[in-house]
Amino acid sequence: MAFLFVTPTWPTGLWKAAMTKVAPKLDVRIWPDGTGRVEDIEYAAAWLPPPNVLKGLPNLKVIFSLGAGVDAILKDPTLPDNVPIVRVNDNDLTKRMTEYIVLHVLMHHRQQRRIDANQKQRIWDSFPTHAASALSVGIMGLGVMGQDSALRLRDLGFRVAGWSRSRKAIPGVECFAGAAEFNAFLARTDILISLLPATAETDGIINRTTIQKLSRRGPFGAPIIINAGRGRQQIASDIMRCLDAGELYAATLDVFAVEPLPADDPLWVHPRVTVTPHIAADSDPEVICAYVASQIERHRNDLPLFNLVDRTRGY
Amino acid sequence: MAFLFVTPTWPTGLWKAAMTKVAPKLDVRIWPDGTGRVEDIEYAAAWLPPPNVLKGLPNLKVIFSLGAGVDAILKDPTLPDNVPIVRVNDNDLTKRMTEYIVLHVLMHHRQQRRIDANQKQRIWDSFPTHAASALSVGIMGLGVMGQDSALRLRDLGFRVAGWSRSRKAIPGVECFAGAAEFNAFLARTDILISLLPATAETDGIINRTTIQKLSRRGPFGAPIIINAGRGRQQIASDIMRCLDAGELYAATLDVFAVEPLPADDPLWVHPRVTVTPHIAADSDPEVICAYVASQIERHRNDLPLFNLVDRTRGY
């Protein structure tokens, strides 16, 4: 039995070392050069696998998606039909996403950019501020991550709502569901957060029409967006247009249609845009490997796997 | 019966309007020009009152300290001995302090300054990060504010401890108490936060000796300080020296010995110092006034007052 990493864009040495550390008995191999006999491979962990690599493993029993989003796996047109896919969604990844969301909501709420600009000019300006309860935060996507972010923002005093495909119930959080309630969700939202998976339905969801439906009653007079979902969800040219038209106050973006974000992209230099390099829920290789190793152990002991992906839903 | 604001350094028009809005029947007066007959004044709210002003009110029954710290009142050498002082410590003020503490802990933890600098140069650098559980946060001062900050940081996954004069018990937070446990508290702390009141014992507590006792085992190799207590607690020259000697990684300061911080102060321009203009718990005048008005109402109905100051302790 062997385990294979299929991560063409990642520093594989680091990952092999991490997996060997947490599972010293596992036969860890790295595609392409270290693959060895394909018949040995029963478990594989992948990110952006090239076509035919996973398909070429005749005894593959489980595929692990390295990251909370599975779009990087599902886009493989030759993905074997009958092999279960496990989404890595450990508590560490969730905590890191929550940190990112709380940090960037607070940076907007407390006007930290304005304070930074004042510091550069040595200006002591204690402008009036508002309470967290004056801000309505709306989270698109109420999976494990969305729920955790919602609870922590609620505890800080924000008015929090969430929107998801199927209705959720979260104490102290207003839950909207489905296409029919999308407009009502947007209309009450001052800060819109995306933690949605990448699916056909969510592609381009952050567009000018969506932004124009957001609340303008918040303390900044125009809404704010934070995208930590997937870059395909935002129409970057619409975001720029809305910022310049005053229809959007500011944007914090961790994900982009093309990553790394090209150096000539105007998002880098817009004064109201914060660009972060897809690090919102960047987890520790050892933590991810420990999760994968524990799931392999469960599978070998005939125990059910956690976080199985529904390929039809796309997450 | 009348109520007097004694706030020489504040925009009194704003405060009079706020109090009139929340307590329309109250006879609201503003020192000095609007004081009127001193015999009428039974309640006063003050911040940095000049000597002899409060003393000159023969029928004064309660003094309200506008802000969570009472040092601005207690430094009046002519303060009447027999009048109770009520500290404003409403939930809004606490929430705002917690927002500030959580924001600035997360900014350090998630290396937002490094990401900001990269954005300016259009550099996409997804450097490795650490989990919140890798950071030990230590809060000096476990009053209402310190406790609330501790709970929210705990919920985000940080290892949280607190240090206070008398021992507290907070679930999931390691509580140290008194001078005897100060060194042990410092030795386990990567990020030191001050929410202490200004007293003789806390003056200059953030000095080079204290900084050198902090942990160096954290992910940044040197500790970080966040002072949202009082400026007198920090020796600014020691902070600068420790930063330049690599004994301190970074500092976020909301309070200063002299405020506004003079334009030629070197703290403004140090690359590892964040200066904020005493806004950590800057509350809404209407919220503060509503608190004061409700306490006046209680006093007039012979109900006990909340948050009475112990003048001997100094808070």
Q: State pLDDT tens for residues A161-187.
A: 999 999 999 999 999 999 999 999 999
As annotated, the active-site residues of A are 230, 278
For residue B11, the chain A residues in CB contact (below 8 A) are none
**Which one of A92, A99, A156 has the shortest CB-CB distance to B109?**
A99
Please count the other Cβ atoms lying within 10 Å of the Cβ belonging to residue A24. 9
For residue A109, the chain B residues in CB contact (below 8 A) are 99
Q: Is the pLDDT of residue B90 over 80?
A: no
- Could you give the number of structural domains in chain B? 2
Task: Output phi, psi for B205, to 5 deg.
Answer: -65, -30
The one catalytic residue in B241, B272, B278, B311 is B278
Q: In chain A, which residue's Cα lies nearest the Cα of B93?
A: A131
User: Where residue A9 falls among pLDDT bands split at 50, 70, 90?
Assistant: confident
Nearby residues of B133 by Cβ (< 8 Å), 6 or more positions away: B157, B158, B159
For position B236, which CATH number holds? Answer: 3.40.50.720
B187 and B202 together in one domain: yes
- String of b and e for A118-128 (b: at least 16 CB within 10 Å)? bbeebebeeee
Q: In chain A, which residue's Cα lies nearest the Cα of B14?
A: A128
Q: How far apart are CA A280 and CA B142, in angstroms?
A: 31
Please count the other Cβ atoms lying within 10 Å of the Cβ belonging to residue A175. 18
Give the tens place of pLDDT for each residue, B1-18: 999 999 998 888 889 999
Structure token pair of residue B41: 């004044």
Q: Has residue B148 been placed in a domain? A: yes
For residue B118, the chain A residues in CB contact (below 8 A) are 277
Q: What is the pLDDT of residue A312?
A: 87
Q: What is the pLDDT of residue A126?
A: 81
Is the backbone of residue A36 left (phi > 0), alpha (psi -120 to 50) or beta?
left
A121 and A77 together in one domain: no
Higher local confidence (pLDDT), A198 or A207: A207
Calculate how close chain B gets to A56, using CA atoms only, in Å.
Answer: 32
Q: In chain B, which residue's Cα lies nearest the Cα of A283?
A: B129
Mean pLDDT of the residues in chain B: 94
The one catalytic residue in B96, B104, B159, B230 is B230
Q: What residue type is B179 in one-letter code?
A: A
The answer to whether B129 contacts A96, with C-beta atoms less than 8 Å apart, is yes
**Which one of A110, A260, A284 has the shortest CB-CB distance to B100?**
A110
CB pairs under 8 A between A and B: 118
A185 and A147 together in one domain: yes
Q: Has residue A113 been placed in a domain? A: yes
- Provide the terminal-to-terminal Cα distance of chain A, rounded to the nearest Å: 28
Q: Has residue A120 been placed in a domain? A: yes
Q: Best of B10, B91, B103, B159 to disrupt the A interface by mutation (most A CBs within 10 Å)?
A: B103
Range of the domain at A44: 2-88+283-300
Q: Has residue B24 been placed in a domain? A: yes
On the 0-12 / 13-18 / 19+ scale of CB atoms within 10 A, A233 is buried
Q: Is the pLDDT of residue A314 over 90?
A: no
Closest to A129 in 3D by CA, of B24, B278, B35: B278
Q: What is the pLDDT of residue A129?
A: 83
Q: Has residue A314 been placed in a domain? A: no
For residue B15, the chain A residues in CB contact (below 8 A) are none
Contact indicator for A275, A253 with CB cutoff of 8 Å: yes
Contact indicator for A41, A59 with CB cutoff of 8 Å: yes
A266 and A293 together in one domain: no
**Which one of B109, B119, B277 has the shortest CB-CB distance to A268?**
B119
For residue B99, the chain A residues in CB contact (below 8 A) are 106, 109-110, 132, 156-157
B162 and B238 together in one domain: yes
Q: How far apart are CA A150 and CA A127, in angstroms?
A: 28
**Which one of B103, B115, B263 has the shortest CB-CB distance to A112?**
B103
User: Where residue A11 falls among pLDDT bands split at 50, 70, 90?
Assistant: confident
B293 and B199 together in one domain: no
**Which one of A106, A128, A263 has the shortest CB-CB distance to B102?**
A106
In this predicted complex, what is the ipTM? Answer: 0.87
The answer to whether B277 contacts A96, with C-beta atoms less than 8 Å apart, is no
Q: Write a three-state SS string for chain A.
A: CEEEEECCCCCHHHHHHHHHHHCCCCCEEECCCCCCCHHHEEEEEECCCCCCCCCCCCCCCEEEECCCCCHHHHCCCCCCCCCCEEECCCHHHHHHHHHHHHHHHHHHHCCHHHHHHHHHCCCCCCCCCCCHHHCEEEEECCCHHHHHHHHHHHHCCCEEEEEECCCCCECCEEEEECHHHHHHHHHCCCEEEECCCCCCCCCCCECHHHHHHCCCCCCCCCCEEEECCCHHHECHHHHHHHHHCCCCCEEEECCCCCCCCCCCCHHHHCCCEEECCCCCCCCCHHHHHHHHHHHHHHHHCCCCCCCECCCCCCC
A81 and A173 together in one domain: no
Q: How far apart are CA B23 and CA B64, in angstroms?
A: 16
Give the tens place of pLDDT for each residue, B114-145: 999 999 999 999 887 889 999 999 999 999 99
**Which one of B112, B130, B279 has the shortest CB-CB distance to A126?**
B279
Contact indicator for B86, B307 with CB cutoff of 8 Å: yes
Q: Best of B119, B158, B265, B286 to disrupt the A interface by mutation (most A CBs within 10 Å)?
A: B119
Q: How do A250-253 and A174-177 pair as beta strands? A: unpaired
Give the tens place of pLDDT for each residue, A138-160: 999 999 999 999 999 999 999 99
For residue B95, the chain A residues in CB contact (below 8 A) are 131-132, 156-157
Place of tokens 């809004």: B92
A144 and A195 together in one domain: yes
Q: Has residue A309 been placed in a domain? A: no
Q: How far apart are CA B194 and CA B202, in angstroms?
A: 10
Q: Is the pLDDT of residue A286 over 80?
A: yes
B214 and B129 together in one domain: yes
B66 and B162 together in one domain: no
On the 0-12 / 13-18 / 19+ scale of CB atoms within 10 A, B237 is exposed
A128 and A222 together in one domain: yes
Q: What is the pLDDT of residue A91?
A: 83
Q: Best of A9, A95, A104, A124 to disrupt the B interface by mutation (most B CBs within 10 Å)?
A: A124
Q: Has residue A308 been placed in a domain? A: no
Calculate how close chain A gets to B277, using CA atoms only, in Å.
Answer: 6
Contact indicator for B256, B229 with CB cutoff of 8 Å: no
- Provide the terminal-to-terminal Cα distance of chain B, rounded to the nearest Å: 28
Q: Is the pLDDT of residue B68 over 80?
A: no
B213 and B261 together in one domain: yes
The answer to whether B156 contacts A102, with C-beta atoms less than 8 Å apart, is yes
User: Where residue B108 falls among pLDDT bands split at 50, 70, 90?
Assistant: very high
Q: Has residue B309 been placed in a domain? A: no
Structure token pair of residue A44: 């594989």
